[in-house]
Each structure stands twice: as structure tokens, then as C-alpha cells.
């Protein structure tokens, strides 16, 4: 039975669908991601499986949103720092919802699933992320979920002969983003 209209942690069995969702995201919204279709499409399926954090002690996990047809329509990941002095931090990465599934609450549910995972992880204090400057819809979603801007990185990404800035945001797991 396929998952229907749910958000859940992805497993290695979801790697093919996850790859398709992310390649679509890189192609459809190239300025939103540092990775490109060209960099990712040739990677072996094992890379995608590892990205999902299928191992018990994985440094990253990915949650997926499934529509009422049971199709994967969105994803968001969480990567936990492994360096001793930074283990209190994690990064939300690879957030995407396919155009056909937008405005149905999947984005918010994915962010909440990642934050819930971070809270349950133990030892984490904050989750951070970056969003391309000018991506107002994504930034607004993160702000509605409690993230706050703490800076802007100029020249963060080269895109089509120009440089784009990245807005850095954070969410305090103990103080709901308040610092």
C-alpha cells in the first residue's frame, strides 16, 4: 500500500523517487539550489540512498511528502554537524515541493517534520538554513515556521553569469528562534 497525503522519513526504498523530485527541483528552480542537475544526475543510486540517512547513525535524514495518490511530491532534509564543537547545530537542506503539490500545506509539514526530528535527536540546540535572496515565498514559509534571519551572504552562488546572495536563517530549538 502506498503512503497517501502523509509526511514521513524516507528510506532507501524511496531513493529513486527522491532522486526524481530533487532533479526536478534543480531543473525547475535552479537559482534556489547550489547543486545543479548536471552535478547530481550522474550520481549512483547509492549516493541518494546515503543522502536519505538510511543507516541508524546517519548524519542526515530526509523527510518526504506524499500526495493522495501516494506519489512523492516534496522533500526536506536535516544534516547534523559531526564536529565536536558544532554538534549542537543542524542544517535544513534540499527543501522542495513540486509545483503540482504547492499550496496544500506540504512545505510547512516538511519543515515541521524536520524540526520535530531535530528536537528528538538530543543535543541539538539550533537548526539553520539558507534561502536565495529574493525567493520571497520560501523565506516567508520559513518565517511562518519560526525561523529568523541572522545575516546575508553576498556572492554566495554563481548563477547564469551573476552572483546571488543567500539569506541565512536559524531556529532555536529551545527558544523557538528567539536568541
What pLDDT is stored for residue 177 in this prediction?
Answer: 45
Per-residue pLDDT for 103 more than 90?
A: no
CATH of 6-172, one of 3.50.50.60, 2.60.40.1890, 2.60.20.30, 3.40.630.30: 3.40.630.30
pTM equals 0.92
Model pLDDT for residues 131-143, shown as the tens digit of each residue: 999 999 999 999 9
Question: Which whole number is the average pLDDT over 77-83?
Answer: 93
Q: Percent of the chain having pLDDT more than 90?
A: 80
Quote the CA–CA distance of 74 and 111 in Å, as a whole number. 11
What pLDDT is stored for residue 53 in this prediction?
Answer: 78
Amino acid at each position: 500500500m502506498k503512503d497517501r497525503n502523509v509526511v514521513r522519513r524516507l528510506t532507501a526504498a524511496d531513493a529513486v523517487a527522491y532522486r526524481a523530485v530533487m532533479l526536478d527541483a534543480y531543473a525547475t528552480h535552479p537559482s534556489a539550489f547550489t547543486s545543479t542537475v548536471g552535478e547530481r544526475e550522474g550520481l549512483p543510486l547509492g549516493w541518494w540512498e546515503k543522502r536519505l540517512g538510511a543507516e541508524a547513525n546517519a548524519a542526515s535524514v530526509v523527510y518526504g511528502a506524499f500526495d493522495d495518490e501516494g506519489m512523492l511530491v516534496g522533500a526536506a532534509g536535516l544534516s547534523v554537524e559531526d564536529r565536536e564543537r558544532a554538534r549542537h547545530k543542524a542544517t535544513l537542506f534540499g527543501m522542495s515541493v513540486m509545483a503540482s503539490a504547492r499550496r496544500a500545506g506540504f512545505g510547512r509539514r516538511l519543515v515541521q517534520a524536520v524540526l520535530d526530528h531535530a528536537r528528538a535527536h538530543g543535543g541539538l540546540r539550533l537548526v539553520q538554513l539558507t534561502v536565495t535572496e529574493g525567493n520571497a515565498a520560501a523565506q516567508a514559509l520559513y518565517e511562518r515556521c519560526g525561523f529568523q534571519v541572522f545575516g546575508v551572504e553576498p556572492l554566495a552562488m554563481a548563477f547564469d553569469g551573476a552572483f546571488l546572495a543567500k539569506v541565512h536563517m536559524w531556529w532555536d530549538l529551545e527558544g523557538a528562534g528567539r536568541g
